[in-house]
């Protein structure tokens, strides 16, 4: 008579928390990017004459009924930089993206030049992003706060996520600055 063979039950597989910590914020980021693409004005909806950047001189000229006689008002076209139409459109897209999410300089250029994003040539996207005068350190702070609002990070983990080329793409200096202004590094 043969002895019955009993199989030992396998222990449950351990879940990898590290993967969840990295993938959850990336999922949130992907949803935000898709929302921006849907909400962004289409290229056909924007006049091809270019988009004039907002400035205090245009606002003052629009709100003032009549300038004082002793003050000479410069024409807005002489004080504002004009951009080629494609760069002006890319600037508008970049401003829209920055209006709802934090981006690194490299991340915003990637978004504008990606075939899954806006599809601008990389040189056009770079010129548009560089013309905006964005405070990238402040963008790093916002990005760090966004990550912390959806998941937990250590200070070093958050710095690594912000500086990673597969993550946000901030420079090492920006990636160190952003988390230093949050509770993760205090």
Pick the CATH number of 135-186 from 1.10.357, 2.60.40, 1.10.3470, 1.10.10: 1.10.10
- Answer yes or no: is pLDDT of 186 > 50: yes
Q: Per-residue pLDDT tens for 87-99?
A: 999 999 999 999 9
**Whole-angstrom distance, CA of residue 89 vs CA of residue 94:** 9
- Answer yes or no: is pLDDT of 16 > 70: no
Report the mean per-residue pLDDT for the chain. 78
Closest CA to 147 of 104, 114, 90: 104
**Whole-angstrom distance, CA of residue 59 vs CA of residue 70:** 20
- Answer yes or no: is pLDDT of 62 > 50: no
- Answer yes or no: is pLDDT of 140 > 80: yes
Would you kindly state where each structural domain of the chain is located, as residue ranges?
Answer: 84-134, 135-186
Closest CA to 157 of 41, 27, 21, 29: 21
- Answer yes or no: is pLDDT of 77 > 50: no
Lowest mean pLDDT among 10-14, 89-93, 170-174: 10-14
- Answer yes or no: is pLDDT of 144 > 60: yes
Rounded-to-10 torsion of CA 137, 138, 143, 146 = 150
Closest CA to 94 of 123, 131, 59, 60: 131
Spatial contact of 175 and 162, defined as CB atoms under 8 Å apart: yes
Band the pLDDT of 53: cuts 50, 70, 90. Answer: very low
Closest CA to 35 of 112, 108, 117, 115: 117
């Amino acid at each position: 008579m043969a002895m019955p063979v009993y199989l030992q039950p396998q222990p449950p597989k351990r879940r990898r928390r590290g993967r969840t910590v990295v993938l959850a914020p990336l999922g949130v980021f992907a949803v935000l990017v898709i929302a921006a693409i849907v909400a962004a004005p289409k290229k056909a909806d924007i006049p091809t004459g270019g988009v004039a950047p907002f400035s205090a001189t245009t606002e003052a000229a629009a709100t003032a009924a009549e300038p004082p006689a002793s003050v000479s008002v410069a024409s807005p076209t002489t004080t504002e930089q004009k951009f080629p139409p494609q760069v002006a459109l890319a600037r508008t897209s970049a401003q829209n993206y920055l209006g709802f999410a934090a981006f690194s300089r490299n991340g915003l250029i990637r978004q504008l030049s990606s075939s899954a994003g806006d599809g601008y040539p990389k040189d056009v996207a770079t010129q548009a992003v560089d013309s905006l005068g964005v405070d990238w350190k402040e963008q790093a702070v916002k990005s760090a706060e966004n990550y912390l609002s959806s998941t937990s990070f250590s200070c070093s983990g958050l710095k690594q996520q912000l500086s990673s080329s597969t993550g946000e793409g901030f420079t090492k200096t920006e990636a160190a600055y952003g988390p230093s202004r949050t509770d993760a590094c205090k």
